[in-house]
Chains A and B, each alone.
Chain A
């Protein structure tokens, strides 16, 4: 008879194996079977179950089994080892839920900031990288040195320059010019009474599609813009105009008098390009209505050049300037050219007349720097908290070492823990990023999208890896190096070989980042507030600006009637017309002959008699332009800067000087001469990034492009309705649009506005992290010095005395942190502020606030923890210690 073991007998064998503390389940099953077969074999030879069991599972045999489990696992795999470490790490994290939670929240915040910043910054740097060989597509920019020493730096260049560069400079392979009129234009569909007002039409050379990488869906890229009277439309525009019909071969009318044949349909422009358009007219059309195209001195165009690979920038600029000299003679000496690669324009193109509001490298660097400080603060937070917790685990490490764990095992154990927390934090921050991306995009007016790309995968990998080793590495090295004896005694030396207490260094860094970020935030907030509340030299409040798109539909001679109708409204205080919007517009320039100057380039603004009153601009000398004085239609008002530019000592002395310049009207150019009748206080017409500059104002009704209405009420909705009704009574076909100047101002300084928001949120996050860090830090210190606290308490020390004891140490660290952080903040933000012509000065008060706030935070968090520690049962602590 063959013996088979009963269930009970098998269970007995299993129990004996389990009693040997064997835990590896696949191994247990296999051993039970193996030993059972042996027992069955012995039973078949005539032994009883108990005898067989005794033989097979002798004590020595059982120890062998234990050893076998170890050998199997060691042989088995690294995966198992890691799995085990992760299990241990998970248990360790569960054991200290409070610290683990703080770690997780702190790191997640830091990671979320890092990921959002990466997505934002990488999107900013992706602009125009989709063109072929973008580094070799360069835009020509111009600096014009005026006779009075002023420098006008513009993204514009001259129309005749590009073709001359290609023919005279061998290194220039190809060029494309763009022109964009600063005001919207009217487009009509031939034979249909449909009008569109296009704010985004550009004119481009035939090389547009070979130089840039925009995809033409319909039409031939080689000929689409090759001749005059051609236009290419975007997909959206085509749909808007013709629905689902193909627009190819259809004719549209520009400004009621120029027919354009649609020769191509282009894909809508991507978001990450520094310019975009809804319609692209052929540059060859321009001479039909733009008579100044052949003038070398008129800079109003954008010129892009494709360069030969091997060209040195300085060398090529010399050659380009030589071309100007050959064609402009002596005048060329006032012009200095510069080149900028197309993929750098968005991040560093901040000249006058840029096609769009660009970002800036300085701004992006500042964002990255702040994000790095926040990230570093969260990682250091983790190190501090891990250190605090590890002190309670020194004995655990000692026992592990006594049991035979090597250095590598201990290191892996701590790194595994750090990896778990880091990965978990990263995962949480991914969720947070996904949820926050849209909101943050809107808040900062930026494009932030969580999309998986090789860049973000690499970034995530590096972030997790670096943070794992940074956060876990310190304690791993410390713990692995400790001798088992010292570990069992609970001794851990946190000083480095040179006697520097690394813990103190890390905590000082945390204070440093906290002080630095608070100070930086206060300075940024102050600067932005300064910009937004700055005295601009005119009053923009309650002013509605109504653009006049087309003088074809809105005849100039009807403006006096409209003005009168507007003024009659009770809610309207005054009305003025101007050639420009005072915010975010492209100023005109003209060469004025005045006193000793034949051609003094100054800003040109066309106004009417009411302009000065509507904007409440101060007249410093002389008088405003008056309706009662007939000659005032050709007289001038100038600003203080113009007085200086002309070289006149005081505003009063400027009155009566004669000025002249070449103006344009429908019949061509003519010389306009008049007298300076008034000097107004400087007001900001250009960007606040640049100086005010000289401005000359005169009356030229043909240049009416904006009607500025000053309201005397806060009931905007009704007033706008009334204005619209009056407008429609006179101009049935003219579109009524409006913008409040205050809103326009906010849009024009959106970067500053985003930075203000950004710095506020980053600082809030870093302060939260810092508070978490401080809790960890005090927890850490009290952990080490629990025995000391208890003895001091037993000997009669008060909680206040204990608080002061701890507090003194922190104050020293705060002082060191402040000494490092504040000069750095001063240096970095001073550089940032130097980009503004008008800036708020940094003060010691901001630095003082940041230090005070940090001291308050430290005091409060220390007090809470010391209070809690000193109220625990002292005898219990002393017994345990």
Chain B
């Protein structure tokens, strides 16, 4: 396992919903702990969404209708599985292209030569 990156949390906060949507787009359904773990693994620990950030985001995405959930009884407890909705896929497509655009512009901007 590669070492966890020390990105500033504030910087990443806006990307977390996109990371979750991307994950659920490819691998639905997943439950909270699984999402946290899979994001970490698939990003080589570059992106770590702590439970403190994860659950508020999941609830918010569900409220917006971008993801949906269902419950299943597993090992004597109720587990909540999340999967992406059609609206979530559209949102991911549009928001991720905006994010890429922002990053491209940012790259271009910092490459500017200043006298």
Contacts and interface: CB of A to CB of B under 8 A. Distances in A.
Contact of B55 (A7, A30, A77): A30
B29 to A, nearest CB: 13
B79 A10 contact: no
Give the interface centre of B31, B32, B76 by most chain A CB atoms within 10 Å. B76
Contact of B77 (A5, A64, A77): A5
Interface string B38-76: 000000000000011001110110010000000100111
A314 interface: no
B55 A36 contact: no
A10 B77 contact: yes
B52 A68 contact: yes
Contacts of A77: 60, 63
Nearest to B69: A26
A68 B59 contact: no
A29 B51 CA distance: 14
Interface in A13-31: 26-27, 29-30
A758 B33 CA distance: 69
A36 B77 contact: yes
Contacts of B79: 33
A36 B32 CA distance: 12
A72 B71 contact: no
Given A5-B75, A7-B76, A10-B76, A76 B51 contact: no
A72 B56 contact: yes
A568 B57 CA distance: 100
A64 B33 contact: no
A800 interface: no
B98 to A, nearest CB: 21
Nearest to B78: A29
A75 B57 contact: yes
B72 to A, nearest CB: 10
A74 B53 CA distance: 12
Contact of B59 (A5, A29, A38, A72): A72
B76 A34 contact: no
A68 B51 contact: yes
A64 B52 contact: yes
Interface in A32-76: 32-34, 36-38, 40, 64, 67-68, 71-72, 74-76
B55 A68 contact: yes
- Chain A, interface size category, equals 20 to 34
Contacts of B60: 75-77
B25 interface: no
B75 A36 contact: yes
Contacts of A9: 76
B75 A30 contact: no
A29 B75 contact: no
A76 B77 contact: no
B22 interface: no
Contacts of B31: 33
Nearest to A71: B56
Nearest to B80: A30
Contacts of A79: 63
A6 interface: yes
Contacts of B56: 68, 71-72, 74-76
B32 A34 contact: yes
Nearest to B52: A68
A4 interface: yes
A32 B80 CA distance: 11
Nearest to B74: A33
Given A37-B33, A75-B60, A76-B63, A32 B78 contact: yes
B69 to A, nearest CB: 9
B28 to A, nearest CB: 17
B51 A10 contact: no
Contacts of A30: 32, 55, 80
Give the interface centre of B32, B56, B60, B74 by most chain A CB atoms within 10 Å. B56
A29 B76 contact: no
A864 to B, nearest CB: 52
- Give the top 7 A-B pairs by smallest Cβ distance, nearest first: A75-B56, A7-B76, A4-B75, A37-B33, A72-B56, A29-B78, A10-B76
17 contacts: A4-B75, A5-B76, A5-B77, A29-B71, A29-B78, A29-B80, A32-B77, A33-B31, A34-B51, A37-B33, A38-B33, A67-B52, A68-B52, A75-B56, A75-B60, A76-B59, A79-B63
Given A26-B80, A75-B56, A76-B60, 14 more contacts: A5-B77, A9-B76, A10-B75, A27-B55, A29-B77, A29-B78, A30-B55, A32-B77, A33-B31, A36-B75, A40-B75, A67-B52, A68-B51, A76-B63
